[in-house]
Homo-oligomer: A and B are copies of this chain.
Amino acid sequence: MFFLKELPTKAMLDKYTSALTNHEKNSIAEAFSIMRQASLLVRSINTHFSANNLSQLRFLILIVIDREPDRTSLYAHEIASRLDVSRPVLTRTLKRLIEEGLLISTHDETDKRAKNISLTKKGMTCLSKVLPGYFNEINKLMK
């Protein structure tokens, strides 16, 4: 998502930011650094995930359900409110996770629009299988 292998040098940046203050130039250099670091993190995390048939979003959906205190399910709109992703993408991703047996969806009696989503055994197993490698990947790159 930030695909520049070599971050611009200060001199390079100056070519484009002559009108900015030094403070602004530093902020921009820092932003580049953050975006590049995050890109590398996301890259290697995604590699780990796809080896386990997951993705960032698929993983996060499982996690937000699992981590919810005192509950074993969430409404789709609650998942949506915790994740910064568009509704159609969430709909599709939930659909796939349900098809693959990682989640199950039940209808709500009081609100017929709502869908109640919970982890299956398979979903929980998947999560616990992927978590150690996930933290491991992060730690490798944060050194």
Residues of A near any B CB (own CB < 8 A): 1-6, 8, 12, 15-17, 19-20, 24, 27-28, 30-31, 34-35, 37-39, 41-43, 56-57, 60, 64, 67, 81-85, 131-132, 135, 138-139, 141-143
Contacts and interface: CB of A to CB of B under 8 A. Distances in A.
Q: Chain A: interface secondary structure?
A: helix
B135 A56 contact: no
B135 A24 contact: yes
State the number of copies, please: 2
Given A67-B12, A84-B5, A34 B24 contact: no
B39 A37 contact: no
Contacts of A8: 67
B28 A138 contact: yes
Given A34-B34, A35-B41, A38-B39, 14 more contacts: A3-B60, A3-B83, A3-B85, A4-B60, A16-B135, A19-B132, A20-B135, A24-B135, A27-B139, A27-B143, A30-B142, A31-B141, A34-B41, A35-B42
